[in-house]
Amino acid sequence: MEAPSAVSSQTGNKRKRDIVKQQEQNHSKEKQDGSKIHITGVPMRDKVRTLFYQVLTTEPQQDHQGRQPIHVTVEEIEEELFSSCDNETGKEYQERFRSLYRNLKDTKNASLREAIVSRTILPKDFVVMTPHELANPELKKEREQLRKESIRESKKSVDTQTFSEEFQCRKCGLRKCSFFQMQTRSADEPMTTFVTCHNCGNRWKQ
Ligand SMILES: [Zn+2]
């Protein structure tokens, strides 16, 4: 048996859904500007729908047979976004919308717009895409370039360390090790040598 509080909260959620449904029915009519978007009666949601519609119709649309009309896709996107945010238009809804919209609006991101319009990316998948996945191809390439450069930089800094053929890695067998020495015990005892293999990352001291 469920606890009374759980039951009442469920009833509360159902009531909220009913109210939302009611609002949708009351206001469900086509907009006058010909965009055909069904409005929800919730100003925030309708604004989101309108902005998505505008950004997805910036390019001239070719007549693809069997293609879902854009307003249907837009309604689905907003519906998915709304339900994935617990049917609230709060902070999460607004932030997620801003991220999706910003990337859709990117002039260099025609491929993303096309993927949405052609439903190569479905609304339910679109609303959960990460900023990296949403980024335009050029930006993705730039980030990849930065990543490679930082790897190159870190390799460069390795080059300036003391390399010695003297040490052979027991793990990979190569003599590509750098080392440094440190006095770890009393001053009259020999120093400890710390060795790093730059082929496999193995470290040891001797
Ligand atoms: Zn090694």
Task: Write the burial class of residue 84 (CB in 10 Å: 0-12 exposed, 13-18 middle, 19+ buried).
Answer: middle
Q: How confident is the model at residue 68 (pLDDT cuts 50, 70, 90)?
A: confident
State the distance from the centre of ligand 1 to the C-alpha of 166, rounded, in angstroms: 13
Q: Supply the pLDDT for residue 2.
A: 44
% of the chain surpassing 90 pLDDT: 42
- Has residue 169 got a pLDDT over 60? yes
Give bridge partners of residue 110 from the DSSP assignment.
Answer: none
Architecture of domain 153-205: Single Sheet (2.20)
User: What angle, 0 to 180 degrees and rounded to 10, lies between the N-to-C axes of helices 110-117 and 43-56?
Assistant: 110
Averaged pLDDT for residues 110-127: 93
On the question of pLDDT at 3 being above 50, the answer is: no
**Residue 64 binned pLDDT confidence (cut-offs 50, 70, 90):** low
Å from CA of 90 to ligand 1 middle:
53
Where do the domains of the chain lie?
11-138, 153-205
Among candidates 164, 77, 88, 170, which has minimal Cα distance to 129?
77
Q: Give me the pLDDT at residue 32, please.
A: 42
pLDDT at 206 over 90: no
Q: How far is the CA of 172 from the centre of ligand 1 (A)?
A: 4
Q: Per residue in 21-56, pLDDT tens? A: 555 444 444 444 446 889 899 999 999 999 999 999
168 Cα–ligand 1 center, Å: 8
Distance from residue 157's CA to the centre of ligand 1 (Å): 18
Dihedral of CA atoms 120, 126, 130, 135 in degrees, nearest 10, equals 60
